[in-house]
Structure 1
Amino acid sequence: MRTIPAFTLSRVAIAASLAVAGLQAQAACSLPDARIHQVQGNGPQSPMQGKTVAVQGVVSSLLYGKDGPVGFFIQEAPQNQDADPATSEGIYVYTGKLALPALKAGDVVGVRGKVLEFSRKGDASSETQLQPSAAADVQLCGYQGELAPISLRLPLSGDAAQLESLAGMAVKFEQPLFVIDSYNYGRYGELALSSQPRQWVPTQLYRPGSAEAKALRAANPRDRLLLDDGKTWQNADAWLPGPGGLSAANTLRVGDRLDGLTGVVSFSNGAYRVQPLYLPQVSAANPRAAAPARKAGQLRVASFNVLNFFNGDGLGGGFPTERGAKTRDDFLRQKAKIVSAIRQLDADVLGLMELENDGFGPQSAVKELVDALNAGQDADKQYRFVDPGLPRIGTDAITTGMLYRPSRVKPDGAAQALTVGDPAKNRLSLAQTFAADGKKLTLVVNHLKSKGSSCEQVKVNGAPDADTGDGQGNCNLTRVQAAQDLVRWAKQRRVSSKEGLLVMGDMNAYAKEDPIRAFEDGGLSNLLARFQKDAYSYVYQGESGNLDHALADASLTKWVAAAGEWHINADEPTALEYGSEFKSAAQRQNYYAPDAYRSSDHDPLYVDLQLVPIAGADEMALGMLGLAGLLAWRRRK
């Protein structure tokens, strides 16, 4: 340890230092040389940028780092505010590691600091801040002040100046708000909120490029805001729902309601956000649902995107894999959740997407999944996987798969791996015909090209396949071509009236987009649109829609008794997934359960078929029921 020599101060020096400290406190608390609204100005940046000023204000909220406060927000007392709505009366004081006095909401403080505009590289806006250079530049004035939050409502005006004029100020929402996205909740503490229980992808409801789709695209951003957690570090314990915060058993779902939200408007990481003053009241407005019940005598067909189910080398090693789990332990956690979901879904035939494309041998991913599903199950609940007789299905890292229960259906003929569209861009589809109850069902499982893929250099029928900006994303023409090829394949089949076709899977297209229209124009009935009022299977950037679809030909449509999604994944926080990354040891334990919830990012779909006529009814009556449902669906459209 280094020894610092002692020294003494004269009485004059001590008195002088105390006088300086007293003058600083007096200057900060009694003689501010600027009001906060003057520092903020009425534009996007401060007119006093770079100057050192003294202000006085009421503490509204502290911002915390791992080791304690790193800054705080102050607001001008009501009697000192100006009449200009374009100027903010609040400001953030960044103190970093300075030793601050113990601050709490309502304290009046004087602050001397340099006026700066803080932003990250690439941010379109910045946050006006005061940065004191020493702890003595922050002085408690010894009394309490009034903090009067401003009422704010969603939707916003759409003008960034609205939130800029409130930056650093306390606001309150007297309307209920709803969670519409929790993707960044576990890692960054962020929740996207709206005045509506759910925001819809425009092309889920309207045709791409239509006036309605454009209007909804413009309206959605105005009707949302980010709620932050008042913390500046990643992977802090998720704080809602209170009082204990997020856990596997205490979830916070899209559609859940928040009342009494009060917080401070801030700007960071490229976005305006609200830092909470205290816990809002959370209501489970969208509670978890049990697995959809099925009726005796019906046949259930389902599809499920299993979120990159990769089992390494199949012998316990080979991790991390190209996709999926990074460790063996994480894979076991993933497998337990997938098995739980599939068992509860209780499908007789099941299409899968995002399986590891490693064949059908003893160490394959599909074999390991089937073995796990069958372990300890009665014979009538056990599965087999469909093997098309190929080493692998296509060349992509992921593939489609199919499981079935021999106790309920029997394969009729060999499975087929179908080339659809450009084989360099589209994964192969998997088709298998089954016999059940005197009828035949052909299931085709698909996973069409993703919206985020690059197709800029691709041409389909001479047209470039880049994103056109109509909401359908990249590779739309590639997906349309695949859908049209599937329709042509279906029409070329020679089948009897006792054989039906069901096309299921992750189409990477929303309900009103061109690929789904190609299926419908080809004579396939959109079962989710018919049986569900508001179908969705996926939430992306706060907007909901169904990328996953079930489409039936005319024969099979007559047998459909029900169709829908089981909302176990899309609405749940990503923090509840199996992965251990970006989680503390306690979070890995608290956020995880070997249950179905957040077993994937897509919700599974199901279609229940009544193949055998109901006692007392004939096929004509069943057909009339199907027709009535179809007419009702058309009226809704």
Structure 2
Amino acid sequence: MPSKPSARLAALTVAAVCSAASTVVLTSPAHADSVRIHDIQGSSRLSPYAGQKVTDVSGVVTGIRTYGSSRGFWIQDPDPDADPATSEGVFVFTSSTPKGVAVGDLVKVTGTVAEYVPGGTSSGNQALTEITRPAFTVVSSGNPVPAATALDAESVPDAYAPAGDPAANGSINALPLQPSKYALDHYESLEGMNVRVADARVVGATDPYTELWVTVKPQENRNRRGGTVYSSYDAQNTGRLQIQSLGSAAAFPKANVGDSLTGTTAGPLDYNQFGGYTLVASELGTLHSADLKRETTREQRNGELAVATYNVENLDPSDDTFAAHADAIVHNLKSPDIVSLEEIQDNNGATNDGVVAADRTVGKLIDAIVAAGGPRYDWRAIDPADDADGGEPGGNIRQVFLFNPERVSFTDRAGGDATTATGVTRVHGKAALTVSPGRVAPADEAWKNSRKPLAGEFLFRGRTVFVIANHFNSKGGDQGLTSQYQPPARSSETQRHRQAALVNAFVKDILDTQKNADVIALGDINDFEFSETTKILEGDGALWSAVKSLPKSERYSYTYQGNSQVLDQILISPSIRRGCDFTYDSVHINAEFHDQISDHDPQVLRFHP
């Protein structure tokens, strides 16, 4: 299997396994004779032998990793002890491709025990117990590989993780494992061991890094399309498990959500930065397709205004996805009257040379929409200051309004630029923007290195509709669900909370000026419909997230680590919500598919202004 891109290689590598930045050392180096693997693993997450040299540790080789920077092999003791908390397997880190060893060899290994933290200790990730700087001898060959332990709905507990130790800043590292009570403890008790899943349903499509996610709990928060829905911080979906492979990348299945790996998928249980516990398969089940189809929403009816939000994932003129995005907008979304686009890059994409204009990017998309049979959209946007809005360096991503001039008009009020704030005024007794298009409080620290909201004033059948396009701060920097800290810290929320408060205050200014104004705040909110971010954005009723009009099993626009979840939202003012005279659709065309053109699903709202 080929190496992954450099950023992920750096995160997955154990080349610096003995550096203070990535290794937990519990004791001074010493020498330990006649220890077994379960002694090394111990009954907590940290080895009692960490930092010590161990001699002639015996085990049968169960898998060999010859690719990437984390090269080595797994060994497992075929004669386990009676303690379910102590793993019988361990990874032997050789740094280069192992020589002179094969699956089925009984080996004796001498080396130093280390606790490697993928991503470094600052990531908050759990540690992986390894034997480093090894020397080994082959005692015999052709031995049976220890039978794989089944991971299934019966064996994996429903509770996710114990609460962290307050005296250790919330870490669970030193807590005794309770594998029959907590899912994370159960997985940890099998770290390095040969495990298997049977007839596992895919809940996270194959990604560019040759990984996918399955669930070992078929009924856990299942939706009609085969995904596992994430609907609460207290329901982490314990059956999710990442699958990689020790085989060729070309042979790895290209799976969509809802597909299945039939038969047995088996191999050592690893832990990495980007997925936590991962079954690294030496045996892969056969892909069975569920024939999942991309969804199509209905066309807006007479008198209905259709408004959509769509994150097109760093779109720039060099991309080959314009025709596919255009086809999605025309045929899957049925050419909405207004489309808020997120992640439109400047005219030369990630080239960092001071270019900020995006007319070529937008123009190419508009032309592609026409070629696909759609309307010739007009557009409005505000170019950001160079490298001031986060995202891919040099890309200068921003939100853009597309609108169909045959159905809706845009009210232009000059003066908007990257640093000028739009405000609310009263014109003929009704609310109006001082600048349209304009940015909401662009100088506020809440938007530092983040996208500023784009506000615009539209006219549909004589009725004004205010639309605020958002792309809030990402979740980068948050601790993962499999973090050693439980519950994990969500540090990125702090900025999103400030952003949500500013947008809510702006909407309240409009509604204070005109109580019955039609206001829509939409976009990539980068947070869940049940999150505090959404609650702040909604405030005391100024807005309401319309995705909550859907059944809980339908509320998702993004799939991450096997969790189908909401990141993209359309929030509406009371005049739109009143009487329930609206329809909402999360149109699933990307997040569940291995050949996605964006990692987000678009959202469509239809209502009668």
TM-score range, shorter chain: 0.5 to 0.7
Q: How far apart are residue 304 of structure 1 and its match? A: 1.4
Give, in whole Å, the separation in 2 of the partners of 1:113 and 1:418. 66
Residue 310 of structure 2 corresponds to 304
Q: Which amino acid aligns with 2:338?
A: V
Query: What is the aligned counterpart of 1:370 among 351, 366, 370?
Result: 366
Structure 1 gaps of 5+ residues are 1-31, 206-212, 312-330, 455-466, 577-597, 612-637
Query: What is the aligned counterpart of 1:274 among 279, 292, 295?
Result: 279
Pair 1:113–1:540, CA change in 2 (3 A):
closer
Query: What is the aligned counterpart of 1:510 among 523, 528, 539?
Result: 528
What are the within-5 Å matches in structure 2 for residues 73-472 of structure 1? 73-77=74-78, 80-93=79-92, 96-97=96-97, 99-100=99-100, 103-104=102-103, 107=104, 109-118=105-114, 119=116, 122=121, 125-129=127-131, 133=135, 137-141=137-141, 144-145=143-144, 147-152=146-151, 153-155=155-157, 158=161, 159=177, 162-173=186-197, 176=200, 178-180=202-204, 185-187=207-209, 189=211, 191=213, 193=215, 195=217, 196=220, 197=222, 205=232, 213=233, 215-216=234-235, 219-220=236-237, 222-230=238-246, 237=249, 239-241=251-253, 246=254, 251-253=255-257, 256-258=259-261, 260-267=264-271, 271-284=276-289, 287-294=292-299, 297=302, 298-311=304-317, 331-344=318-331, 345=333, 346-356=335-345, 363-375=359-371, 377=373, 381-386=375-380, 396=389, 397-411=396-410, 416-421=436-441, 423-424=443-444, 425-426=446-447, 427-436=452-461, 439-452=462-475, 472=493
Q: How far apart are residue 564 of structure 1 and its match? A: 1.0
TM-score by length of 2: 0.65
Give, in whole Å, the separation in 1 of the partners of 2:55 and 2:61. 20
Give, in whole Å, the separation in 2 of the partners of 1:47 and 1:523. 58
Give, in whole Å, the separation in 2 of the partners of 1:515 and 1:82. 48
Pair 1:186–1:446, CA change in 2 (3 A):
same
Residue 569 of structure 1 corresponds to 590
8 A Cα contact 1:560 1:607, kept in partner: no
Structure 2 gaps of 5+ residues are 1-32, 162-176, 178-183, 348-354, 390-395, 414-434, 478-487
Give the 4+ runs in structure 1 shifted more than 6 A.
357-362, 390-395
What secondary structure sits across from 1:186 in the alignment? coil
Q: How far apart are residue 266 of structure 1 and its match? A: 3.3
Give, in whole Å, the separation in 1 of the partners of 2:126 and 2:476. 27
Pair 1:230–1:563, CA change in 2 (3 A):
same
Pair 1:87–1:549, CA change in 2 (3 A):
closer
Residue 601 of structure 2 corresponds to 603
Give, in whole Å, the separation in 2 of the partners of 1:412 and 1:93. 66
8 A Cα contact 1:480 1:514, kept in partner: no
Q: How far apart are residue 504 of structure 1 and its match? A: 2.7
Give, in whole Å, the separation in 2 of the partners of 1:554 and 1:165. 51
Q: How far apart are residue 604 of structure 1 and its match? A: 1.0
User: Is residue 52 of structure 1 aligned with residue 35 of structure 2?
Assistant: no
Q: Which amino acid aligns with 1:607?
A: L
What secondary structure sits across from 1:489 in the alignment? helix
Q: How far apart are residue 541 of structure 1 and its match? A: 5.2
Q: How far apart are residue 430 of structure 1 and its match? A: 2.4
8 A Cα contact 2:473 2:492, kept in partner: no
Pair 1:556–1:130, CA change in 2 (3 A):
closer
Pair 1:342–1:130, CA change in 2 (3 A):
same
Q: Percent identity?
A: 22
Residue 499 of structure 2 corresponds to 478
Give, in whole Å, the separation in 2 of the partners of 1:100 and 1:342. 56
Q: Pairwise CA RMSD of aligned residues?
A: 4.3
Q: Deviations over 1:325-359 (max 9, x none)?
A: xxxxxx23143333232222221222222334689
Query: What is the aligned counterpart of 2:568 among 539, 548, 555?
Result: 548
Give, in whole Å, the separation in 2 of the partners of 1:146 and 1:392. 59
Count of residues paired in the alignment: 478
Give, in whole Å, the separation in 2 of the partners of 1:87 and 1:376. 59
Give, in whole Å, the separation in 1 of the partners of 2:56 and 2:106. 11
Q: How far apart are residue 45 of structure 1 and its match? A: 2.6
Give, in whole Å, the separation in 2 of the partners of 1:428 and 1:76. 58
User: Is residue 488 of structure 1 aligned with residue 489 of structure 2?
Assistant: no
TM-score by length of 1: 0.63
8 A Cα contact 2:202 2:212, kept in partner: no
8 A Cα contact 1:167 1:267, kept in partner: yes
Structure number with bigger Rg: 1
Give, in whole Å, the separation in 2 of the partners of 1:292 and 1:274. 37
Give, in whole Å, the separation in 2 of the partners of 1:567 and 1:267. 30
Pair 1:480–1:356, CA change in 2 (3 A):
same
Q: Which amino acid aligns with 1:100?
A: G
8 A Cα contact 1:181 1:193, kept in partner: no
8 A Cα contact 1:422 1:482, kept in partner: no
Q: How far apart are residue 570 of structure 1 and its match? A: 2.8
8 A Cα contact 2:196 2:265, kept in partner: yes
Higher helix share: 1
Q: How far apart are residue 492 of structure 1 and its match? A: 1.4
Pair 1:609–1:559, CA change in 2 (3 A):
farther
Q: Deviations over 1:522-563 (max 9, x none)?
A: 344432212454322234455443232223344444584521
What secondary structure sits across from 2:601 in the alignment? coil
Q: Which amino acid aligns with 2:503?
A: A
Residue 579 of structure 1 corresponds to none
Q: How far apart are residue 482 of structure 1 and its match? A: 1.7
Give, in whole Å, the separation in 2 of the partners of 1:35 and 1:525. 58
Give, in whole Å, the separation in 1 of the partners of 2:213 and 2:602. 24
Give, in whole Å, the separation in 2 of the partners of 1:448 and 1:70. 39
Give, in whole Å, the separation in 1 of the partners of 2:287 and 2:344. 37
